[in-house]
A and B are shown apart, each in its own frame.
Chain A
């Protein structure tokens, strides 16, 4: 079956540091890949996505590139801010059987300090 593995947290960084959160996946076929962000006490919001190999998703300074050869979709940001503190989830879509079921990683908590 499909699965997503992402690095465990929490990740603690100083403001303006470089961020990488690793994500690798196992899937049949050619899934779409997503990063979602969850702020404390809230639901998930889509951060970025990529639908095919070599696509780069980007939003709010975050980027991730769909690497089919390494089955990875690592999240990066060049300079994090305190407001980026949240939990980040990597996910892949599964269209088998109709509908759209996302398989999520376990989430990585990011804490950014001044």
Chain B
């Protein structure tokens, strides 16, 4: 089945450690996104990538880094510089090609990061 796979589902980290969240999609979508979800704040965009080897900062990129070496993969690293990293992280993809872009995002099931 086509979809988006995020791993791990739950992750615990000590302060000062970097951690990388995995996101893989087999939908053949060009664009991929990372959102952060906090209670009462909805979803906020961290980074997005429209094409391989290219990505742009979203609204809250500080303390995060990404790479897009393959179309299928868009890993997110939460660095020690992120002051409040405990949150639910959601990866998404979309078909952004002209004529096929319906505006819809397809989401993974999320990764919950807790900093101890």
**A→B interface (CB under 8 Å):** 32, 34, 36, 41-46, 49, 51, 89, 93, 95, 97-102, 104-107
Q: Would you give the shortest CB distance from B107 to chain A, in whole angstroms?
A: 4
Residues of chain A lying within 8 A (CB to CB) of residue B35: 104
A89 to B92 Cα, complex, angstroms: 15
**B→A interface (CB under 8 Å):** 4, 6, 31, 33, 35, 40-43, 45, 48, 50, 56, 58, 90, 92, 94, 96, 101-110
- In terms of DSSP, what is the predominant structure of the interface of chain B? strand
Are B105 and A100 touching (Cβ within 8 A)? yes
Q: Would you give the shortest CB distance from A109 to chain B, in whole angstroms?
A: 10
A51 to B45 Cα, complex, angstroms: 22
Are B103 and A93 touching (Cβ within 8 A)? yes
Asked, given contacts A89-B42, A100-B31, whether A49 binds B108 with beta carbons under 8 Å apart, the answer is no
